[in-house]
Amino acid sequence: MSDRDGPRSIGGMLGKIGDLFRGKPVVVKGTRKLADGMARKVTFGDLLAGTGKEILLCRVDGELHALDVRCPHEGGRLAEGPLAEGKHAVCPLHNYQFEPRSGRCVNAACKGAKRYRLREVGEDCELWL
């Protein structure tokens, strides 16, 4: 490695190594349009083949959050549309409510919903599955 390749090559190499552990994000288009207090489902892969995943994107107080759409209680599905009180994702099966920032269930003794890391970039978001 020459002197002119030094920091850039090392930084690029470290970034690539980090990507191996973190995985590459998927881009979800148009997430900036999701209104505050609303939730939207997005699907990746093939659900029927068992290789897919459904994620619920929720916007609370201007911030975007991502939860696994499966309710940890009995496998129901968190609903898209308006969030309860504008801030809780709801499983209509038993009306369990989850706080999108932490995944914590706020109205029952239930394991928290699985959260996913994301980053908003312009009008879209990058989501790590």
Domains of the chain: 23-127 (2.102.10.10)
Letter string b/e over residues 60-87, b meaning 16 or more CB atoms within 10 A of that residue's CB: beeebbbbbbbbbbeebebbbeebbeeb
Taking the CA atoms of the chain, what radius of gyration do you get in angstroms?
18
Mean pLDDT by 10 residues, the chain (129 residues): 46 51 86 98 89 95 97 94 98 96 96 97 97
Enter the tokens of residue 46: 């093939």
Residue matched to tokens 């029952």: 108
pTM of the model: 0.81
Write down the pLDDT at residue 3: 42
Please report the pLDDT score of residue 4 as a whole number.
43
